[in-house]
Structure 1
């Protein structure tokens, strides 16, 4: 597509998005009542005097909130607006359309109710205190669009203070989808995670979380080179915060081009067109390229495939194969956690989600999925290493795996028949 046509298409999409968000009523979500309110007796049960009895029960036993209120199926999607999409620190209020959008995805894919909450916090400590104080309302907390590095400290502080799942999707959700696709790609390319040399471009929330998850899955830390705006993150640098220092390695490589030489895997979580054809050409045979900058990848598939016909590639876009899309994860991860009333989402649950997503691509694809994407056939291969977002099996497979992992790891407080 030419630049002029792309500009016209973007302008048309932007105009349509404004109409979509404004009409026929502003916003994307609303609240509905779930009980009858048609008679005087209904109102007496819904509010006073009938509401007093569940209040008494919950006061006597806090767990009864899950019996008599919506807490067990209600998640807060919360931001401070410091890292909204690729727009940066636009503030809490400007982040509200994104939080509403996340609510739509929770409801559409996992039937989870959401309150979106935008917190105008001057410091991370203020944000933590606000979230902790409103947490009794919810069965889980989805942190969204928080800037690094304070996002790491915010999440950890809330996990330690609260007894409900707290999950920063920009970290762990992205990492889970990357890991699932990467494991499939490595199998197809005849490589192992333990032996693979990996380059990660971008040392923000998603980059650091991906490195930690891949290490848990068996990657060799010394074989992972992370690159930020100043070059390779190596142990000789004196400008690293503690989160970057944890992933620093001993290496003589200093530039992105240096890092690419002989690499098996590239994971881009950075910006558009930062990878040159020459860098790609210097990678090892059968390379794997996850160019996830959105909307413009670090290297475009049409460019990459001209340089290397032996690669497997993923992007963050829906108009190319192998879209790394967080909607494959977070709705079902929370669904599984809520179903067993988990006190947290731990590493075992994240790893269970990885393998559920990975294994789903090995199963026959339902006709409904082929129809939704206009395909005649779809089997695991270079163009199908990650499930499609509209696959109806995701809820059962991913949520079920997460729930079972919660039970097995001792963080579940409920044991349904399906767990």
Structure 2
């Protein structure tokens, strides 16, 4: 490593508090200084390349340095970078809201900058809706075992990942947790669908007793990502929708990680044939180029806030709400979906990866279990005696030129959609060698 690179790392450690990190680990695990990206590849300051197998925390859809998204941002920069969205509006935010409504069937969009903020907005809107409708007892939220919805205080209240939540428990508002429909938790001989229905029955039992105090249930449709890509049958979402209708509560679909094609359809709820009352979107919405999130909701919910009294309005705001540059990136991202038949291409690439994986003889000999795939997401667990497997594999993969970040003993792939067949082959081979080195 050159002296200039070493200086950059030292400066970063002296001034930057890196996210989701125990900073002391960087005494032995060096930061990776990235200077450029292209397609699925990142390049560090020494010219070493890394295949971005996790889409830079699940945000990058169409690769780094994409000309169409960059051009849209540049064009918008010549017109308007940002304007307050209270009392003002602009073309990109209106266009984006119209196009998202055409995709989801939900009438109004409220903007923020990140996924946790979207969760906060949806929870507040649901609570405030029932208050405005005179049903002030409906103040509690339901969420799923092992669910993750962000790390701000409201989002943590409906998150069930102890590593993130336990420290802040005294600050959080208690909610109720339902059994996860994750098919890995099924009994021997029980199908994914049967287990999902059993979990739905548990939800029904709870709501029969507590629906009067329940405002909403929030779920990650089809895949609970942060708990290790826990996948479940779409029948669960169908049953939840019916229960929400029966007992008058809102269904909040947190598609922050799984939206925009990750599960094989534009939005995961499409595979259940349902419409939520709220949908939370972020991450891939701009293709990974600029921060943006949005909560979409129904016209009925919007109407509950439409009143002469200011206090009945939704008085929530973020300084960069509906940022014009971010909206332009999101519009370019939607254009790529429209122009390139992305979902069909993804299905072909998913088939190719699955076939390639099955054809690797060394792969079958490894101590792996629960190999699973939904859309452009793959995951499996590694059976190992190494308590530090997560770090061992991460470092071995980096040495091999591959960016993968296991969740505990779960290794997963979530690559940008532009990955080619030859790059898929290379990713699988390097994963195989990294597994052998870390077991």
**Normalised TM-score (structure 1):** 0.29
Write 1 or 2 for the structure with the bigger share of strand. 2
Q: More relative contact order in 1 or in 2 (CA 8 Å, sep 6+)?
A: 2
